Amino acid sequence: MVRKINLKDSVNEVDELFLYKRVGTLNNHMLNVLQAENRTLDFHVHETSDEMFYCIEGEFDMEFEEGLTHLCEGDFVIVPKGTKHRPVCKTLVKCLLIEVEGTLNKDNTGGTYNE
């Protein structure tokens, strides 16, 4: 059965920081919500797929070699494959991440992603 998902409700059900909660699958893409705060990941690259970050609530920066892109509630950024990047979350932010199945791993999530 087709079901409706409310992103704000889904991300607010996550009771731990840095816990990825899958809210859907679109073709071979995972849709995960996440809450993060006071965290800067290491620079990393996804060689074979793009990645999308949608800011549900709060604000954060996406850092690239060329500089920072600031995202606020309602903004999203698509990181093209092969682009070195890292999220910089100083205050509480709630996000939706969309990426190809298998993209997330312990190396590019600071050790917090579990399948």
Domains in the chain (CATH in brackets) are: 7-100 (2.60.120.10)
Helix (H) or strand (E) holding 55: strand 51-57
pLDDT score, position 56: 98
Rg of the Cα trace of the chain?
Answer: 13
Predicted pLDDT at 94: 98
Q: What is the pLDDT of residues 14-43, one digit of tens each?
A: 999 999 999 999 999 999 999 999 999 889
Residue 7 near residue 23 (C-beta atoms within 8 A): yes
Secondary structure (DSSP) of 66-115: TEEEEEETT-EEEE-TT--EEEEESS-EEEEEEEETT---TTTTTT----
Look at the block and give the residue holding tokens 């312990």.
Answer: 106
pTM: 0.88
